[in-house]
Amino acid sequence: MSVQLTTQAAERIRQQIAQRGNGLGLRVGVRKSGCSGYAYTLDYADAIEADDTVFEQHGATVVVRRDDLSLLDGLTLDYQKQGLNEAFKFLNPKAKAYCGCGESFTV
């Protein structure tokens, strides 16, 4: 099981943790939502729980609950800036389709 970070995503995670002043990294997960079934969730990881898996790359940490790993295995988390817009992008090989608005996915 693996989750990959691009160097841009790792840099943004480090910046956000530094601006916040505390935290271990970024918590990535999924929840049932939207018209396609699942939506990604992002939050700060302030602690590592017993059911967490930790991925570290490029000086940044991503924490994923083991229950979410089956949907996130192979995920590459990227961070992109396009004009005035900037956001994390999820490149998930498990996602088979996305809803029209891009907010949810199905496996």
User: What confidence category does residue 17 fall into, taking pLDDT thresholds of 50, 70 and 90?
Assistant: very high
**Residue type present at position 11:** E
Residue 81: CA atoms inside 13 Å, Cβ hemisphere, count?
Answer: 6
Give yes or no for residue 101 having a pLDDT over 90. no
Give the whole-number percent of the chain exceeding pLDDT 90: 70
CATH topology for the 3-106 domain: Hypothetical Protein Aq_1857; Chain: A; (2.60.300)
Give yes or no for residue 82 having a pLDDT over 70. yes
Give the whole-number percent of the chain exceeding pLDDT 70: 90
Predicted TM-score of the model (pTM)? 0.88
Tell me the domain boundaries of the chain: 3-106
User: What confidence category does residue 63 fall into, taking pLDDT thresholds of 50, 70 and 90?
Assistant: very high
